[in-house]
Amino acid sequence: MIKFGIGQSLARVEDARLLRGLGRFTDDIAPPRSVQMYVLRSPHAHAEIGGIDFRAARAMPGVHTILTGEDAAADDLGGFPSMVPSTAPGGGPNFTPPFAIIAHGKARYAGQPVAIVVADTLEQAKDAAEAIIVDYEPLPAVASLADADAPGAPLVWNECPDNLDALATFGDKGVVDAAFEKAASTHSVEVRISRVSANPMESRTALGEWNEAEERYELTGGMQSPHMLRAQLAECVFKIPPNKIRVRAFDVGGGFGMKGVPHPEPALVLWAARKVRRPVRWTSERSEAFLSDCHSRDHTSRCELALDSGARILALRFFARANLGAYLSLAGLHCAQGNIGHLSGVYTTPAIYAEVRSYFTHTVPIGPYRGAGRPEAITVLERAIDAAAFDLRMDPAELRRRNLIGPDQMPYDTGFQFTYDSGNYPVSQTKAEEAAGWANFEERRLESLRRGKLRGIGMGHIVEIAAGMNDEMGAIDVEADGSVTISTGFHNHGQGQETTMRQLVSEFLGVPPDRIKYRDSDTDVQPFGFGSAGSRAAAVGGALFKAISEKIIEKGKVIAAIMLDTSAEEIDFVDGTFTARSTNRTATLAEVAALAHQPMGLPQGMEGGLSHKQMFRPKGPTFPNGCHICEVEIDPETGRSEILGYWVCEDVGRSINPMIVAGQMHGGVVQGLGQAMGEFIEYDEEGQLLTGSFMDYQMPRALDMPQITTISNNVPSPNNPLGIKGAGESGTVGAMPAGLNAVCNALQPLGIRHFDMPATPWRVWQAIQHAGGIEALHKAAHETA
């Protein structure tokens, strides 16, 4: 381990820049002659658009152009595709309408772009938008997943009867049904996973430019996957070669998956920029973001467990309904069904059958959000475990322990979808229980009851696929003075990649981090990249930079051999220094790089410079895992839940930077608890958004959160040469079930077996009243005593 290498809690190098206001965000960039775009959005969830009269608006001061769906059709602009195919209810492929960049003829959700106004200032664009007259014919809408297939429900698409786009089944139903027939006991629970909005600190942004000299588009924006967005824009929207579009991202204030899928506005600014021959800027306002950012989650599920007489799981059945919104976003169906393999959890479940029905509704399209299907599956599974423990009057921790996969069973084929790489789940649970004081919790519950409070404890085991999106490209360039520049298709938007990637290269090449430059994601720098998503950057990036470094060292040995008058086979490289074994003569990486940049001093045929670029595909995905425990106390008179403590024993494989891992875990936990305790997107029956601001949408606050204790039980992954698993999403995946289980556990003395998120004070208070209120609490306290 070198001073700045893998395993060191190096302070984040990007923080010094960001904390001093020196970050470079898209909204900071204002090229000369740039203009502003304002998006006029449909006020209706479902409406025919008879015509748009913008003559008066077009004549207003500062207005350069106004564009509508008619113009988009005339220019033959397409929409964004779905990357996940599925099966229609009757067999065959599911219906996949392109995610339109602007409405044409019909609006299908409140907030859908109907027209764009480009003006000198944002105020002028807004004023002009108010003068546009749109001839809407409002139509009935369906905004609720529960009502999507109700008799007579309005159709989002005529091609989808009952609004049912996809019916996906997994596993052998016959085998599972047979296991249920012979079970000693069966248990079921119905769980609603609420709809949420990502709400990153920086809202979505885009700057579009038309490069007249090169006849191509240039996009700068807040995004996670510049290369993937470029491919979609080129192939599907503008129908041009990819090299006719440049996409780059500088600093981005959070993404959480939402910024990893295409949205209409980046396409709209590029289209407008070519029309007006000026740079066009757009930054989403917060109220606009609630209407237009892809939402996430929104599932209802029924999970059934079959247990034998020893409380060991024989089989699991799962039936889910998933909301897609009005269009398929790039990853909408992935969120609905792509991570269904997580129903296996950390348990030795012999047989699983799952059925997922995915519906269109007149709402904003669904997209990924920190976990992208993992929290939905794991939360339902973990709630089913707790519900079964409630039925059996068994300690939920004991029921889990009886069914955990053992370390000696690794690698473990779940028989459903995944093969886990490594892990020690029993040890993680033991460590988490000890840290949380699980064994004496009932004493704390009794103490709370004496004070008229309800205390609960919840556990949530997680195992999640990571680093599963394969190829990535990267490059390392060693300059003549030994300094290093690195680049990849990954993008840093809060994960600390500017630091961890430097640490990796510092480890491999022995160069101090302050001598390593990290280049922002730019399709002109790297021709390919998948971007940052799915907790992949550390595992895939680590292996990628290791492979590239080995190529640089290999060439460096040849050059060092010339300098040290020996053969390359006699050269060792350690901590930035090449050493000849026979003579102990040395040459630093900087000295070798200096000669490498003088081609006249190199053997004939050897290419000058000391750099390497390549693609990399890891051996397979990794499976970070952990055991989360949450403890809450509820005031029955107000319904307010206070989170008293949170403990997580995590396994992220080899940790590049333990401090950054802890930060990622803390942030993920807060987001998971935020959804369990308060966050909720809600529409009325007409498809109007009711939670369109932070006055109505309950974001987690620092004062709501407890001390979060993290404990490590890292088991390296065999699926990449560094043993890294990933850490970006597991905090959220574990916090949702742990937090919800804690609330349900607190309410159990009142006879409440299950309670659906979000656990807002009003909803919790209502549940307590329905269970008998304060009188029921006094009775529970008396019986417990």
Per-residue pLDDT tens digits for 221-259: 999 889 999 999 999 999 999 999 999 999 999 998 899
661-686: b (≥16 Cβ within 10 Å) or e? bbbbbbbbbbbbbbbbbbbbbebeee
Domain check: are 344 and 271 in the same one? no
Q: How far apart are CA 440 and CA 730, in angstroms?
A: 27
* 544 within domain boundaries: yes
Q: Tell whether the model's pLDDT for residue 310 goes beyond 50.
A: yes
Element (H, E) at 154: none
Taking the mean position of all CA atoms in its chain, how far away is CA 145?
A: 22
Give CA 505 to chain center in angstroms. Answer: 26
pLDDT on residue 2: 58
pLDDT in tens, 433-451: 999 999 999 999 999 999 9
Note whether 42 and 100 are within 8 A (CB). no
In terms of Cβ atoms closer than 10 Å to its own Cβ (0-12, 13-18, 19+), residue 617 is exposed
Q: Is 384 a residue whose pLDDT tops 60?
A: yes
pLDDT at 617: 84
User: Is the bond leading into 513 cis (omega within 30 degrees of zero)?
Assistant: no
The string of DSSP codes covering 422-463 is ---HHHHHHHHHHHHTGGGHHHHHHHHHHTT-EEEEEEEEEE
For 68, residues 6+ apart whose C-beta sits below 8 A from its C-beta are 52, 54, 102, 104, 114, 115
For residues 537 and 720, give the distance between their C-alpha atoms in angstroms, rounded to a whole number: 12
Question: Looking at the structure, do residues 87 and 234 belong to the same domain, yes or no?
Answer: yes
Integer angstrom CA distances of residue 631 from 433, 703, 738? 12, 16, 9
Q: Establish if 185 belongs to a structural domain.
A: no
Is residue 154 in some structural domain? Answer: no
Residue 183 falls inside a structural domain:
no
β-pair type (516-518, 484-488):
parallel
pLDDT band for 533, please (50, 70, 90 cuts).
Answer: confident
Residues 600 and 642 occupy one common structural domain: no
CA 46 to chain centre: 29
Q: Name beta bridge partners: 615.
A: 473
How many folded domains does the chain comprise? 3
475 lies in the same domain as 452? no
Q: Taking residues 165-187, what's their average pLDDT?
A: 97
CB 23 within 8 A of CB 251: yes
Range of the domain at 539: 2-21+468-616
* CATH number, domain with residue 528: 3.30.365.10
Return d(Cα 700, Cα 370) in angstroms, integer.
15
Distance CA 47, CA 31 (A): 38
CB atoms within 10 A of CB 398: 12
Ramachandran region of residue 298, left (φ > 0), alpha (ψ -120 to 50) or beta?
A: left
Residues 13 and 95 in one domain: no
Give me the residue label for tokens 């757009």. 282
Which has the minimum average pLDDT: 182-191, 319-328, 489-498? Answer: 489-498
Spatial strand order of the sheet with 625-634 comes to: 454-463, 625-634, 641-651, 708-712
411: preceding bond cis by omega (within 30 degrees): yes
Last residue of a domain, one of 292, 310, 345: 292
Spatial distance between the Cα atoms of 480 and 166, rounded to a whole number of angstroms: 57
What is the pLDDT, as a whole number, of residue 469? 63
- Give the 3-state secondary structure of residue 40: strand
Closest residue by Cα to residue 57 from 97, 114, 111, 96: 114
Q: Are residues 247 and 213 in the same domain?
A: yes
Q: Is residue 378 domain-resident?
A: yes
374 and 344 belong to one structural domain: yes
C-alpha span between 504 and 215 (Å, rounded)? 39
Distance CA 570, CA 208 (A): 54
Exposed, middle or buried, 214 (CB in 10 Å: 0-12/13-18/19+)? exposed
Q: Tokens for 678?
A: 């308060």
The token pair at 484 is 């290093």
What is residue 606's predicted lDDT score, i.e. its pLDDT?
A: 87
Give the pLDDT mean for 419-433: 98
Provide the token pair at 554.
């290999």
176 located within any domain: no
Question: Is 688 found in the same domain as 764?
Answer: yes
Same domain as 271, residue 351: no
* Single-letter residue type at 775: E
Instruction: Give the H or E element holding residue 517.
Output: strand 516-518
Q: Give the per-residue pLDDT at 1.
A: 46
* Residue 149 identity (one-letter amino acid): D
DSSP 269-299: HHHHHHHHTS-EEEE--HHHHHHHS-BEEEE
Write the pLDDT tens digit of every residue in 292-305: 999 999 999 999 99
Non-local (6+) Cβ contacts of 228 within 8 A are 260, 330, 529, 530, 531
Please indicate, yes or no, whether residues 409 and 519 belong to a single structural domain of this protein: no
Percent with pLDDT over 90 in the chain = 86
**Do residues 444 and 476 both lie within one domain?**
no
For the chain, what is the mean pLDDT? 94
State both tokens at 503: 């640490």
pLDDT, mean of residues 439-464: 96
Residue 158 lies in a domain: no
Q: Answer yes or no: do 768 and 734 share one domain.
A: yes
H/E stretch holding 169? strand 164-170
CATH code of residue 41: 3.90.1170.50
pLDDT tier for residue 604 given thresholds of 50, 70 and 90: confident
Residue that is last in its domain, among 553, 586, 616: 616
- Mean pLDDT in residue range 284-312: 97
Residues facing 709 on adjacent strands: 647
Q: What is the pLDDT of residue 257?
A: 87
Answer yes or no: is 189 within a domain. no
Q: Kindly provide the residue ranges of all beta strands, DSSP E only, lying in 551-683, ordered along the sequence.
A: 571-574, 577-580, 586-588, 610-616, 625-634, 641-651
> Of 557, 584, 616, which one is at a domain's C-terminal end?
616
Q: 14 and 499 in contact (C-beta within 8 Å)?
A: yes
Q: How far apart are CA 313 and CA 397, in angstroms?
A: 14
Contact assessment for residue 265 and residue 282, using Cβ atoms and an 8 Å cutoff: yes
- Cβ count within 10 A of residue 694: 12
| Encoded amino acid at 644, one letter | L
pLDDT band at 534 (very low <50, low <70, confident <90, very high): low
